[in-house]
Each structure stands twice: as structure tokens, then as C-alpha cells.
Amino acid sequence: MQKFRKKGGDYLVMALAAVISSVGVYFFKFPNHFTTGGVSGLAIVTRAFLPGMSQTLLTNIFNIGLMLLGMLTMGKAFALRAGVYSLMFSGMIALLELLFPLSAPLTNQPFMELILAVLLPSISTALLFNIGSSGGGTDVIAMMLKKYAGVYNTGTALLLADLAIGLASFFVFDVQTGIFSVFGLAMRSVLTDIALTSLNQRKYFHIITADPGPIQTFITDTLGRSATLFEGVGAYTGDDRTLILTVVSPRQAVELRNHVKSLSPKNFLLITNTSEIIGRGFRSPV
């Protein structure tokens, strides 16, 4: 039952990601010809040579091809998720095209539209990577670079996968569009990493105390987390001390910090931000 609940939650996240990305792509990316990577960027460039084909159709064709590539290199489970998301995304694009036909950009502020054209898909990509999925398209290439080429940073992998598409806009459209596209591509790399880190943000506690009992009980019973305890000796006083290590959410961190300080002003806390957590109770980022 828990497995089915997790899958259902993942598909809800995928649907949310599809809505967020499609809004950014359709309203801000397509009208301005921003080729900030992705299959949609490739469709924008290709449509300049095939004006009779819609960007939605081209996006679907490229997605299917890369999804098959992902199936061969990343496994069927990965390709299935990417395929489901691709259908959601393509359906949302088609629906927006039907309900809100556009013949020109929404505003005369291309830089503001560039920000939204990059920010919304970046959030979507981070949501998908966070559940071990992908939006298909060039995300598949990015995941392959991470798996086979040792490219650890997600944003760097995306940048390498999409760079050629961004550079093509200089030749297909004009210099201004090319500059916006390349800048947006670099910005997407940074925003994806920021969003992914924020989604996985946790607080790592080092607590040094002479009375670990109440703190241990609060962590396990009130916060529902676990902890590891080490016995030690204060270097200056020579007194016995206990070092408690635990990882909690940002909200729980406030509760734990206040509780530890309320027990004794002599308790020592070292709190560190972390987003790379592998183990039971936490989901490690892809």
C-alpha cells in the first residue's frame, strides 16, 4: 500500500511539474523564440525551417525519440516516467494553445518574459529530478551525462545537453534572441540547482550536552526522527559530554533548537545546511 501511495504522490508531482513548465514554455518561451534548451527549444529552432509544422507536434516527435533513447540507456522504469510526463506536458501545451492562442509576446518586456520562461521550467525540472524522474527530452541526455560521463552537477549536465540549441538561435533568428537564449540557458542551469537544493534542504545538528536524555526523547518522540550518540570528554574541563547527531527538516530545526537551548544554556549546537541525504526517512536527490 505504501508503495502505491508513493507512486500516486510521484505522479501528482509530475502533473504539477507539467502545468508549471507548460505555462512557462507556452506563454513566455514560444512567443519570444527563446531557445533556452530543452525539446521545446529544439522545436522552436526546427520550426524556422519547417513552418508548416506546429511547435507542439515537433516537441512530441523529439520527445518520443529521446524517450526511446532513455529506455535503451536508463531502463524501462525511467522511460515510463519520462513518457508519462511527456504526455502530460504535451497535453497541457495543446490545451493552452486551444484556449489561449498567441500571435505575439504577452508584453514588450522580453527580459521579464525570459525570467519567467526560464524560472518556471527550472522549478519543474527540479521537482522531477527530486522524485527520480525526468521531463524527457534533453533531460534524458543530462541524466545520461550524470550516469555515464561522471558529470555530478545537475545544472552543468543540463547546460552541456542544451548548449548547441541555445547557440543555434544566433543563426536562425537574430543576435538579440541569441543573447537572450544563451543567457537564459546559463540562468536555467543555476536556477535548477537552487530549486533542487531548496527542495531537499535539511538541517544537520551537532549537539554537545551533559544531559542527552531529554534531547534524545524530544528527537525520537516529538519530532519522529532518529539520532546517533557519541560519548566524549570536554578538552578544557575534562567533563563527560555526549555528542548527538541528527538531521531534521527546517521547520523541525526551529523546534529542536529552541528545545535544546531551553534545557540548558551550556548546551552547544552546531547547525549546518545540507541537501545530500541518503538513508531511511529521507529521499536523496538524483
Q: What is the pLDDT of residues 64-74, one digit of tens each?
A: 777 777 777 76
Q: What type of residue is 160?
A: L
Q: Are residues 185 and 213 in the same domain?
A: no
Answer yes or no: do 30 and 157 share one domain. Answer: yes
The mean pLDDT value for 6-11 works out to 73
Q: Coil, helix or strand for 52? A: coil
Amino acid 39: pLDDT: 78
**Does this model's pTM top 0.75?**
no
Highest mean pLDDT among 141-150, 194-203, 221-230 belongs to 221-230
pLDDT at 260 > cutoff 90:
yes
Closest CA to 202 of 130, 123, 120, 118: 130
The whole-number pLDDT of residue 159 equals: 67
Residues 233 and 269 in one domain: yes
Q: Are 186 and 256 within one domain? A: no
Residue 223 and residue 248 in contact, taking contact as beta carbons nearer than 8 Å: yes
Q: In DSSP terms, which residues pair with 272 in a beta bridge?
A: 204
Query: Count of alpha carbons within 13 Å of 106, Cβ hemisphere only?
Result: 16
Given a cut of 60, whether residue 3 has pLDDT beyond it is: no
Q: Which tens digit of pLDDT belongs to each residue from 136-159?
A: 666 677 666 666 666 656 556 666
Q: Are residues 70 and 20 in the same domain?
A: yes
Q: Are 181 and 166 in contact (CB under 8 A)?
A: yes
Query: What is the end-to-end Cα distance of the chain in Å, rounded?
Result: 24
Reduced to 3 states (helix: H, G, I; strand: E, B; else coil), residue 276 is: coil
Distance CA 269, CA 257 (A): 8
CATH code where residue 239 lies:
3.30.70.120
Residues 88 and 227 in one domain: no
Q: For 26, which DSSP code? A: I
Higher per-residue pLDDT: 59 or 3: 59
Give the domain range for residue 168. Answer: 2-199
Any idea which residue has 522504469 for its cell? 77
- Assess contact for 166 and 36: CB atoms under 8 A: yes
Domain-ending residue, one of 199, 228, 244: 199
Domains contained in the chain, number:
2
Kindly state whether residues 45 and 135 are assigned to the same domain: yes
Residue 113 and residue 20 share a domain: yes
Q: Which helix (H) or strand (E) holds 202?
A: strand 202-209
